[in-house]
Amino acid sequence: MTTLLLLHGLGGDGGLWAPLLAEARWPGPVVDIDLDGHGGRPAPLRPAIGTLAAGVAARELPGDDVVVLGHSLGGAVGVLLATGLYGVRVRRLAIFGVKDDWDPDLVARLHRGADAPARTFATREEALERAALLAGVRGEVEGTPVTRGVAENGDGTWSTGFAPSSNLVAGQRVAALAPALTCPLLVVRGGDDPLVTPAEAAAFGIDPVTIAGAGHHPHLTHPADLWAEVGPFLREGLDA
């Protein structure tokens, strides 16, 4: 059975996929990993989309084939995996919220933050609030879904589990790699996504599917609508 591999966005963790998984009911293995530098995992020596893809490829995954669903940074990582250059056999790739036209001021701000030490917090609640802010989901959904890396440090303080150096991925672009993909691609965009324009979503060379009323995190706010689009695509041609 083909594995469903879920790749989250910058600042998040694999727990962000919970609302979508409640809709998906994938019949085979599901792997909602935390990317390196997220969820308490160490960041690579040189954080980049390529090193994150190499980190995913180095992990043991169930089965030989995967279909990939990636959000934002995770979608960009999925694009690299789907070139076949990392040794992962990707059968189908669906992405949403992937930026391809970065504002230089935003890139500069994120890169400056990459050199900052990881912050600590007096309480778990404060760390959870910060984790939600880093993932860009604070206020989008009830509660705080970014919890995997939030941990007590042994001295009474708490950390989010996000490595600030991960911000160095900002500004990197992958749409030009679309012709090199070895599998079918589906691009989805939230109709109200403030971070990804229709032109950015179309930069991969195919017409994107739009989720009306959704912002940058449709897997949290519109999981049924998102799965209605990506589910049939990811399962097409695969053994049940």
CATH of the domain at 53: 3.40.50.1820
**Any domain includes 165:** no
Return all residues near 111 (Cβ < 8 A) that are at least 6 apart: 167, 168, 170, 171
Question: Does residue 159 lie within any of the structural domains?
Answer: no
pLDDT at 140: 61
| CA 179 vs CA 51, 172, 185, 205, 207: distances in Å | 21, 17, 10, 8, 14
Instruction: Kindly state whether residue 132 falls inside one of the protein's structural domains.
Output: no
188-to-88, 93, 128, 138 alpha-carbon distances in Å: 23, 11, 29, 22
What integer is the mean pLDDT of 55-64?
91
Average pLDDT (210-226) is: 96
pLDDT confidence band for 89 (50 / 70 / 90): very high
How large a percentage of the chain has pLDDT more than 90? 87
The verdict on residue 135 lying in a domain is: no
Give residue 19's domain range: 3-101+172-235
Q: pTM score, two decimals? A: 0.95
Q: What is the pLDDT of residue 1?
A: 77
Is residue 240 very low, low, confident or very high in pLDDT (cuts 50, 70, 90)? very low
Residue 237 has pLDDT above 90, yes or no: no
The residue whose two tokens read 């589906």 is 186
Closest by CA position to 65, among listed 193, 214, 237, 215 = 237
Is residue 120 domain-resident?
no
Which amino acid, one-letter code, is at 21? L
Domain membership of residue 82 (yes or no) is: yes
Q: Is residue 143 part of a domain?
A: no
Spatial CA neighbour of 162 closest among 171, 151, 143, 149: 149
Confidence (pLDDT) at 139:
64
Query: How many separate domains does the chain show?
Result: 1
CA distances from 221 to 16, 53, 55 (A): 11, 27, 29
Tell me: pLDDT of 133 over 70: yes
